[in-house]
A and B are shown apart, each in its own frame.
Chain A
Amino acid sequence: MRRYVARRVAALVATLFFVSALVFVVVRVLPGDPAALIMGTEGSPEAAARLRESMGLNRPLPVQYVEWLGGALRGDLGRSIQYDLPVGQLIVSRLPVTLPLALMAAALMVAAALPLGLYAATHHRRAGDYAAMVLSQIGISIPQFWAGLLLILVFSVTLGWVRSGGFEGWSSGPGPALRSLLLPAIALGLFQAAVLVRATRSAVLDVLREDYVRTARAKGVRERRVIGRHTLRNALIPIVTVAGVQLGQLMAGAIVLESVFALPGLGRLALGAITARDLPVVQGVALFIASSIVVINFAVDLAYGLLDPRIRYE
């Protein structure tokens, strides 16, 4: 197991390094000049040129990259052009919104998908299975932003139970904060769950056809135990793989939903920064999100090792 972990860590570091270079180059190659964006249509081109110079954007790319990477390694991601605050501080200030949102969404996703997928598989080709499949088909087909708007329409506009958007902050206690995150978490998690339902169903179905399941049943093992111990554990590898990918997609989905729900999260920070060509922030957030996805994948890899001894010893 130790060698397995060491290999994965090495891969993690290499990936992060590659991601940092990619993020930097892509962000710089994008057409559009941050200075011109700050000046808009009202400021003069001369003023924009002066601003560009003072922002250090006229220096050679490799110099800028090395400087940025050096800073990033020391935990300094630069300063936001738009907000005039350290990028690290901005990212940290958005985490109390995005992190709980992603966690709630992930919890909802798993809580909905596993039982539903399992139910569909164990009721294969019966009414319950078809109902679960129709539900998940609807979930897959509905774009998340639209789901978000529908939820707002029902729960905020019509019923008036929750605010239509915005974030109260954690300072007034967990209640209001969680309430602001509930609808977006449902839109994000439940609709993302649709894919996981299908993955769970087919993985479990595959295992149910295995001989050892038949043997277990023939031995008279109770159905609960057959499913819980013999089937689910063996089906978990493909399920964990899909869930890992889904977690990454949750981050992407958060970017859209944070706009719909006007949440001051990481996604909205990124979107605003891209529009304003706030390069240090775009780089910082992209690096942060990429790192989180790489770390999630790392965790998924480790989970494989835990779930399946064969992988550990390869």
Chain B
Amino acid sequence: MRRTVSLIVVLLALIVGVVPTRGQGSGRLIVQSQTEPPGLDMTVTPATATSGIVFYNVQEALVKVDRHGKLVPWLAERWHTADNRNYTFFLKKGVRFHNGRELKAADVKYVFDRAMNPETKHPYAKDYEAIGDIIVKDDSTITFALKSVNASFLQNIARAGSVIYPRETVETMKSTPVGTGPFRFEEWVRGDRIVLVRNADYHVKGLPKLDRVTYRFITDPNAVLAALKAGDVDVSLFGLGPEHVQDVQKDSRFAVIVGDTTNDVILAMNNSRKPYTDVRVRRAMTHGINKSDVLKGAMFGMGKILGSNVDPLNPYYVDMANAMPYDPAKAKKLLAEAGYPNGFDTVLKVSPQYYYTVRSGEVIADSLKKIGVNVKIEQIEWGQWLSRVFREADYDLTIIGHAEAWDIKNYANPKYYFRYDSAKFQDLFAKSEATVDERARRDIYAQMQKLMVDDAPVVWLFMHPRLAVTKKGVQGLWKDLPASAGDLSEVAWTPAK
């Protein structure tokens, strides 16, 4: 017994004797990341854990979505189109990859040829379907000839899957991405951290401001909170829920960023399965759910109520939050008209992978009970959810967040797991893709949003907010997240007074 006590005393003395070194100096930042990426090659994996680290930091595209959601020239210093069919890009001169080689038009051609080749299993191959031919004019000029007018073309070449990389590194991108970004990839200690270091040759003068960024993978929200409070991480980008954020908000050592995102959280209904084949039932579901209660219950009121699948960061956003308001009496009437005067029983399949799904589900079940719809909540694991719900559409109801920008296109795909099949909507969407005129396109988007509200293929619940926490003194982080990226090029510590 005495020996045990002395052993513990010795061990404790050992700890106290050596004060642990803390990461943050003026140019170093330790960022908590919730999930470890499943590989770092954005032309293979669509995971946000990957793009959150690599996109804009290590690899970049010809066009960039800036912090306000605007498309700006990036690796291409400008572009030109006379007919909306042929786009010519003039590459920024003197841009070098991290391996020292200069970026040339031939690299751009290689990247898109490879993406369009079905052999390479590019996750967004569909985004490049409109491209007919890619012509290299000279080392810094390249023309994309489209098969037809495609209004999403620029948007698509600004996506994470459209980053430009040197062809000689294509085999190793999964573990060592090379690009033109403000940071060079340094190391990935599997299970623990990814380290990026400053690219001294970066093509934007004065950036990046940090010397070194370390991403540490901490999944458990309580562990994240502890790491923040112990000073072991400087920034938490994802992983803290609203309840933790409220706790941190009271602490003067931290700053909390609550911003907008493109993540639309929805209650999906299987439109091919009874009773959701009936539009009256779907409308009744929308009228029967008190969305502000859902927002309070699941998100502590953080986030924004949505009425359609266009998020507030989209330039064509129309506020539809109150287009089909909470009205249980009307919901009951609609159900009676559809032949369900006493309501019905239904199963809600959710995956606890995302904390808000189960919480929202509980509030919704309570809300729907009042109109006679009895919701049984069934929790399934994420892998099962992807197979059974997302791929096979074997479900009545489910809750999930769709994080991709411009994902209104999913409603034009009758095979998508909502199984929403409206010829009218599909026509409108096709028209929107072929319309380049800004005003005309905005008008079509307004029509689509109105049609979505009327058809109620799903119940749009809320926009999941960006909830980031930083130590006081960290500045330059994006407030909103219009792209699935975690741009750290302008982040810096405020100079010490």
Partner of B4, one of A41, A115, A165, A260: A115
> Is the CB of A83 closer than 8 A to any CB of chain B?
yes
Partner of A164, one of B125, B217, B223: B223
Chain B contact residues, CB within 8 Å of chain A: 1, 3-4, 7, 11, 14-16, 18, 20, 36, 38-39, 45-47, 118, 121-126, 174-175, 189-193, 216-220, 222-223, 226-227, 229-232, 353, 381-384, 386-388, 390-391, 400, 402-404, 415
**B3 near A115 (CB under 8 angstroms)?**
yes
Closest A residue to B37 by CB, please name it.
Answer: A82
B391 partner residues in chain A, CB cutoff 8 A:
33, 36, 45, 48
> Is the CB of A157 closer than 8 A to any CB of chain B?
yes
A54 to B44, CA, bound (A): 13
**A51 near B226 (CB under 8 angstroms)?**
no
> Is the CB of A85 closer than 8 A to any CB of chain B?
yes
**B4 near A83 (CB under 8 angstroms)?**
no
Partner of A166, one of B11, B216, B229, B402: B216
Q: In the complex, how many residues of chain A place their beta carbon closer than 8 angstroms to a beta carbon of chain B?
A: 65
Q: List 16 A-B contacts (CB under 8 A).
A: A33-B383, A33-B391, A39-B123, A41-B402, A42-B404, A44-B123, A47-B121, A93-B190, A115-B3, A152-B223, A164-B227, A164-B229, A165-B223, A178-B14, A182-B15, A260-B220
The 9 closest A-B pairs by CB, nearest first: A32-B383, A264-B191, A264-B192, A42-B46, A164-B230, A156-B230, A43-B123, A115-B1, A36-B386
> Is the CB of A211 closer than 8 A to any CB of chain B?
no
Closest B residue to A107 by CB, please name it.
Answer: B7
**B123 near A42 (CB under 8 angstroms)?**
yes
Given contacts A42-B123, A165-B226, A175-B18, 6 further A-B contacts (CB under 8 A): A32-B381, A37-B386, A42-B46, A111-B4, A262-B192, A262-B216
Task: Tell me the minimal C-beta distance from A271 to chain B in angstroms.
Answer: 8
Partner of A54, one of B121, B126, B381, B388: B121
Q: A149-167 vs B: 1/0 string, CB under 8 Å? A: 1001101110011111111
Closest A residue to B119 by CB, please name it.
Answer: A50
A265 to B124, CA, bound (A): 34
Partner of A112, one of B4, B14, B20, B381: B4
**A166 near B192 (CB under 8 angstroms)?**
yes
> Is the CB of A38 closer than 8 A to any CB of chain B?
yes
> Is the CB of A176 closer than 8 A to any CB of chain B?
yes
B18 partner residues in chain A, CB cutoff 8 A:
175, 179
- In the complex, which residues 275-306 of chain A have their Cβ closer than 8 Å to any Cβ of chain B? 275-277
B219 partner residues in chain A, CB cutoff 8 A:
259, 262
A259 to B126, CA, bound (A): 38
**B230 near A157 (CB under 8 angstroms)?**
yes
Chain A contact residues, CB within 8 Å of chain B: 30-33, 36-45, 47-48, 50-51, 54, 81-85, 90, 93-94, 111-112, 115-116, 119, 149, 152-153, 155-157, 160-167, 169, 175-176, 178-179, 182, 259-265, 268-269, 272, 275-277
**B226 near A162 (CB under 8 angstroms)?**
no
B39 partner residues in chain A, CB cutoff 8 A:
82-84
Closest A residue to B1 by CB, please name it.
Answer: A115
A182 to B189, CA, bound (A): 21
B45 partner residues in chain A, CB cutoff 8 A:
38
A94 partner residues in chain B, CB cutoff 8 A:
191
**B175 near A119 (CB under 8 angstroms)?**
no
Residue among A42, A47, A160, A263 with most chain B CB within 10 A: A42
**A164 near B226 (CB under 8 angstroms)?**
yes
A166 partner residues in chain B, CB cutoff 8 A:
192-193, 216, 218, 227, 232
Closest A residue to B229 by CB, please name it.
Answer: A157
Residue among A84, A93, A112 with most chain B CB within 10 A: A84
Partner of A156, one of B14, B226, B382, B403: B226
**A43 near B46 (CB under 8 angstroms)?**
yes
A144 to B409, CA, bound (A): 47
Partner of A31, one of B38, B223, B387: B387
B7 partner residues in chain A, CB cutoff 8 A:
111
A158 to B301, CA, bound (A): 30
Residue among B3, B46, B122, B353 with most chain A CB within 10 A: B46
**A176 near B216 (CB under 8 angstroms)?**
no
**B3 near A40 (CB under 8 angstroms)?**
no
A156 to B226, CA, bound (A): 8
A84 to B11, CA, bound (A): 39
A167 partner residues in chain B, CB cutoff 8 A:
192
A312 to B76, CA, bound (A): 79
Task: Tell me the minimal C-beta distance from A54 to chain B in angstroms.
Answer: 7
Given contacts A41-B390, A175-B18, A276-B38, contact A264 B190 (CB under 8 A): yes
B231 partner residues in chain A, CB cutoff 8 A:
160
A260 partner residues in chain B, CB cutoff 8 A:
220, 222-223
A277 partner residues in chain B, CB cutoff 8 A:
383
